[in-house]
Amino acid sequence: MKIGICCDHAGVEYKNKLISYLLGKGHEMVNFGTDSTESCDYPDFAHPLANAVESGEVDCGIAICGTGNGMAITLNHHKGVRAGLAWNVEVAKLVKQHNNANVLVVPARFASYNMVNAMVRAWMSEEFAGGRHQRRIDKITNY
């Protein structure tokens, strides 16, 4: 699978660890930055990831920032993106099962790396449930 990943300054450490982990699992990774812990603006990295998801350049994406909220808000302004913010494994599963999220967003300042890794693994292993959930997704204005 080809996975895009991005972060702001709060998520650099987790992003680098996830890239190594996912490469080790045989995935192809596309790094949309940042690669610095110097303060930066999350939209500068979220928009390129969203464009890659929309165009099919990547199969899915992972975004990391301090709370996850800025990334999620920015990503969800893109018509072809359904970004789900997760803070534990159960929520990570549900954003795939119920919302068919093609980008997982995680909060670097509120979850340990082990939790973030577990959320990524859970989200990637889930399938979209379809059915009533598809009906709901179809009602999202920007879908």
Residues with catalytic roles: 65, 98
Distance CA 111, CA 61 (A): 18
Place of tokens 């494994």: 89
Helices vs strands, H then E, count in the chain: 6, 5
Tokens at residue 116, please?
């973030």
- Encode 106-129: b = buried (16+ Cβ within 10 Å), e = exposed: bbbeebeeebbbebbebbbebeee
User: Do 95 and 104 contact (CB within 8 A), yes or no?
Assistant: yes
